[in-house]
Structure 1
């Protein structure tokens, strides 16, 4: 009866069995079903003899985890007694089963007594419970994949729908098995202290991954491991440009492995934007191929920054949370990726799972992203759309609010940090109340920060290059004066520290740029790739 892996009492009696009530031992093909009935008996026996044993297995086992139908019924009776805070022993369980007319179905009082005599203690009950749970998951996989196999033979079956259905079920099963135990605080204190020491040793004051935007990093101390960061904005605000600018700062300048999942653009479109960003050649010029000699030189010189950079891009359309998790695990395992970016959340799906509304699906997606960030212990930055409430807001202040997050309030709840992009120029606001020039300015609004302060950060937005940067990096490279490649150029690389925009003399980044330096930033209607177009799905070059 009992396996040698646990200590069971030898009763000398054959356990009660009823062929009528037993689940089939094999499937239709004669394969033995995954099962561990001896472990099931050991767990039930331990629950009958020790009153606190249930709390060790309650988060691991469900009634359906048991293979033997009798054991499912008995476990449900024990669970009911615990929920009602009643004693659990042979007599109370027997009485509970009798009250529900299930006693004879499980073999009567004799079998309950037998179970209690099969183990001496609950010493190994948690291990036994995990074995039972694993066997149950294996049976679920067999059952479901058998159904998928049958459907796959059906010539009328839509294969895409079938794959989504299978994917959804696998994701559901994997989520069920993602259980993490509690931890005594001492090792956590040690880990936290070591992180504090590492942060103190860094000269830049960062405890996480620096975004490359000085003023933003001063507030956040960098993107923190296990955090879900939501970057939200209305269309045409420059969400993708911000993500690409940050990817350049992290992967190219800091050489930190970074992954970007683009659900909206192809890999080629994404890389073209990155080339525009890094090489500072206008998108329409790059698209046409009509580059001037100095632009070819500039391209040749600067594109080398991208070669060999630890930046991984994936343009899978309609990416599901299950696919993302699988790919993210592989990227972390094989390439040591330290941060994920997703463009953008609302284009993802939770395929194969049924939802009453799109809001429920988005809630599942955001919750899954937070779970993934915790599992991989890396920050995840997810771009998100805002609803039209911003546009309909009365007055000239169109700054986004948390209530503007599109399709789900769960995004706000799941996120550790919520940032908004606001560009007054988009709304034809070119000066603030104090008369400062707002052309080419972008306000990054930190609306939620679970572990720190909120606030606003001012960055420079160079629309012609799809680029966000610190105000102190301001210098035009598209004219002869600041471009070392242009005819008559000064040889000074435009204040970019010989191609590296992360110069060491940053001073904060929140001051407004003097109006005389704004000549390179025309109004929105002139040359802004994020301005409204007849077809919003077309790339800006």
Structure 2
């Protein structure tokens, strides 16, 4: 190396470059101008653009006020808006002059949507920057109470919210938005098969009582072992997935017109066992025969035909045992992004794990799980059907019908649930009371009772936020683990008010 090169001073580090968050003030001005000149421009962007997406605070205020005025059926122009903005200034310019200039330099209404999309995309980029900065800062500081896995799950949740709804903050929602959503829901119910506001379970007598499974509801399906909780949940899950009918939205995404995409967390049974149950129910070949391979050629042909049909059904099974509420939520978000999601089934709550913070206290842990499931139902805007075991105190009572108090041991299950269903099969208990001696005088009495309850099941609606409580009688075919509507009209549903 020559002497000159050795003495060349190292260039001084340049000043850190200030980077402004992505924004486009001109696009915001052009859009607001178009709205002020022709209020129809507002409806071209109102379904995706919210005031929070605009970068300039004054522009947010103008957009919000204009929207409120237009929704009330009045004209939004520089004159009607300026009264709501007081003495605000834009540099040396009064707000009235600024509004007049926006209107004077307005672009045509045709471009309004393009400007709206530009503003929306820039808002999402700003939100991504905020999330990215938080990831970096939290990773550097590494709080003791937030291990890397928890940070990944939190980031995934925030990114999911952003991708789904363009939301990157919580906060209050205008009541008129909530009203519009409620009207949309009623319109969708009118269009849907059966006129239900929720997703049909495929069991008519249950739907008529519940109006289907409602979005963002936590539905607890509880019962003692042997009552058929999993069978009912599997029946409902398959009915919904089998009747799935997609509808292409303007943005290219798919939305369920009928039925839905179902995610099934099977913590107790393997996916093969679950599939065997569904095949048995659909083909009317008993599951014990399928497991033993005791099949005729006709039975086997039925199985093959059924399996080919089932391959097209949007039912996704996760058989991970002992899954935590955080893992379950992360996987459900991923499924919704990749395949869509309309209903989530969890079999069952007591097999899930909470965080380590809950420690040894199982009641606290179950409380954390049910609270997490309710929050997830709201976040994903899907009904979650969570199965739950009942306490043994049911067995010690004369009347074995479950009550809400039988859930109390498990923390806040009753409080968090929007709907609580109990599955009760009297046949199960009556069968065990069969007198050993067929000549016993009580045998005839027992036989009469058994014939009355045989092949039936009660689904007790013990709690329902949106409707009546009561009991629905269903037919239950144990051989095929199938619940169905009763053909006999003498079985009448009854309500409690």
Q: Give the shorter-chain TM-score range.
A: 0.5 to 0.7
**Whole-angstrom CA distance in 2 between matches of 1:129 and 1:247:** 36
- Structure that is richer in helix per residue: 2
Instruction: State the match for 1:214 in structure 2.
Output: 204
Asked if 2 retains the 8 angstrom alpha-carbon contact of 1:366 and 1:411, the reply is yes
TM-aligned CA deviation for residue 317 of structure 1: 1.1
Instruction: State the match for 2:478 in structure 1.
Output: 463
**Whole-angstrom CA distance in 2 between matches of 1:283 and 1:325:** 32
SS at structure 2 position matched to 1:207: coil
**Whole-angstrom CA distance in 1 between matches of 2:193 and 2:342:** 20
**Whole-angstrom CA distance in 2 between matches of 1:387 and 1:165:** 35
Instruction: State the match for 1:452 in structure 2.
Output: 467
**Whole-angstrom CA distance in 1 between matches of 2:202 and 2:365:** 33
**Whole-angstrom CA distance in 2 between matches of 1:173 and 1:348:** 22
Map 1:371-386 to 2 at 5 A. Answer: 371-386=375-390
Instruction: State the match for 2:287 in structure 1.
Output: 283
**Whole-angstrom CA distance in 2 between matches of 1:427 and 1:363:** 31
Instruction: State the match for 1:186 in structure 2.
Output: 176
SS at structure 2 position matched to 1:392: coil
Normalised by the length of structure 1, the TM-score is 0.57
Map 1:98-497 to 2 at 5 A. Answer: 135=133, 138-144=136-142, 166-168=148-150, 171=153, 180-254=170-244, 256-355=260-359, 357-393=361-397, 395=398, 397-405=399-407, 407-428=409-430, 437-472=452-487
Asked if 1 retains the 8 angstrom alpha-carbon contact of 2:153 and 2:330, the reply is no
TM-aligned CA deviation for residue 167 of structure 1: 3.5
SS at structure 1 position matched to 2:194: coil
- Structure that is richer in strand per residue: 2
SS at structure 2 position matched to 1:460: strand
**Whole-angstrom CA distance in 1 between matches of 2:424 and 2:281:** 20
Asked if 2 retains the 8 angstrom alpha-carbon contact of 1:165 and 1:352, the reply is no
SS at structure 1 position matched to 2:215: coil
**Whole-angstrom CA distance in 1 between matches of 2:261 and 2:136:** 35
Query: 1:3-23 CA deviation, whole Å, 9 max, x = no partner?
Result: 7869xxxxxxxxxxxxxxxxx
Query: 1:23-70 CA deviation, whole Å, 9 max, x = no partner?
Result: xxxxxxxxxxxxxxxxxxxxxxxxxxxxxxxxxxxxxxxxxxxxxxxx
Residues 459 and 330 of structure 1, relative CA distance in 2, 3 Å threshold: same
Normalised by the length of structure 2, the TM-score is 0.62
Residues 434 and 260 of structure 1, relative CA distance in 2, 3 Å threshold: same
SS at structure 1 position matched to 2:269: coil
CA-based RMSD of the aligned residues comes to 3.6
Asked if 2 retains the 8 angstrom alpha-carbon contact of 1:259 and 1:339, the reply is yes
Instruction: State the match for 1:87 in structure 2.
Output: none
